[in-house]
Amino acid sequence: MSALIEIDRLSKRFGAFTAVDDVSFAVARGEVLGFLGPNGAGKSTTMKMLAGFVTPSAGTARICGEDVVERPVAAKKHLGYLPEGAPTYPEMTVAGFLGFAARVRGYRGSEAADRVAHAMRLTTLEGVRLQPIETLSKGFKRRVGLAQSLLHDPPVLVLDEPTDGLDPNQKHEVRRLIGQMAPTKAIIISTHILEEVSAICTRAIIIARGRVLADSTPAELSRRGPSLDAVFRELTMAPRPAPEAA
């Protein structure tokens, strides 16, 4: 099956600093890719380029075959994206905000209402639907962002730290939701939490200093050392990319 997400020699330079350096990989339907790396490794920048927010210095990415640089609007139609920190308009109500996202995506009338209701059901937001987003707790805000990214049932989901700031129960809920959707979608999630990768990802990529250092299944990665933690530290702390340990 052809990949829904193709990242093709993507690079991003900010002045003399190279944030993302010649990164290539592909994600097929049914895969949940965990994107791991220390802070500043280039995870978010790669995701922002994939979402069409940051313009790549070189290379490109394709979502469902649509080039994000050349046909950005077409590519974004297939994409559900949760930006880092899940930004939302604070003065809007949950229903108002999701309704806006639905209308921008071209849904009207009862179809828009159905989409919003469905997204709220998936993320259990019905109880707060008429509350302004600024009055909600961090966990709810995160779920509003998540609901926005799921609204149009996209084949490709890119979630930048979807469980950051959630309590253990909420983390569990989000992971369960991702697991549920996994068979029909190609999903990339970035995270700092290594246990999360073992729990929900079918594949893990470790990135540091803008380069891909490892691309494997979580199980295989943890077999390289005493634990996934140790493997992660060894790979990302090394001044040069560590030689691939068997």
Partner 1 sequence: MRTALTIARRELAGYFATPVAYVFIVIFLVMTGALTFTLGNFFNRGTADLQPFFGFVPWLFLFLVPALTMRLWAEERRLGTIELLLTLPVTQGQAVLGKFLAAWAFCGIALALTFPLVITVNYLGNPDNGVIATGYIGCLLVAGAYLAVGAAISALTKNQVVAFVLAVAVCFVFAAAGSPVVTEFLSVRLPVLAEIARGVSVTDRLSGFSRGVVALRDIVFFASFIGFWLFANAVAVDHRKAD
Instruction: Give residues in contact with partner 1 (CB under 8 A).
Output: 48, 51-55, 72-74, 76-77, 79, 81, 83-85, 87-92, 96, 100-101, 103-106, 132, 145, 148
Cα separation, 92 vs 240, whole angstroms: 47
Q: Which is nearer to partner 1, 51 or 182 (CB)?
A: 51
Q: Please report how close the Cβ of residue 92 comes to partner 1 at its closest, in angstroms.
A: 7
SS3 content of the chain, % helix, strand, coil (to 5): 40, 25, 35
Q: Which is nearer to partner 1, 34 or 56 (CB)?
A: 56
Q: Please report how close the Cβ of residue 54 comes to partner 1 at its closest, in angstroms.
A: 5
Q: Which is nearer to partner 1, 134 or 229 (CB)?
A: 134
Q: Please report how close the Cβ of residue 74 comes to partner 1 at its closest, in angstroms.
A: 8
- Pairing verdict, β 5-14 and 17-27: antiparallel
Cα separation, 12 vs 21, whole angstroms: 7
* One-letter amino acid of 161: E
First vs last C-alpha separation in the chain: 29
Q: Please report how close the Cβ of residue 245 comes to partner 1 at its closest, in angstroms.
A: 36
224 Cβ contact list (under 8 Å, min separation 6):
231, 245
Q: Which is nearer to partner 1, 6 or 160 (CB)?
A: 160
**DSSP state string for 83-147:** -TT----TTSBHHHHHHHHHHHTT--HHHHHHHHHHHHHHTT-GGGTTSBGGGS-HHHHHHHHHH
Q: Which two tokens stand for residue 74?
A: 């077409």
Q: Please report how close the Cβ of residue 72 comes to partner 1 at its closest, in angstroms.
A: 8
Cβ count within 10 A of residue 71: 15
Q: Please report how close the Cβ of residue 56 comes to partner 1 at its closest, in angstroms.
A: 11
Q: Which is nearer to partner 1, 77 or 118 (CB)?
A: 77
Q: Please report how close the Cβ of residue 201 comes to partner 1 at its closest, in angstroms.
A: 23
Contact at 8 Å (CB) between 170 and 132? no
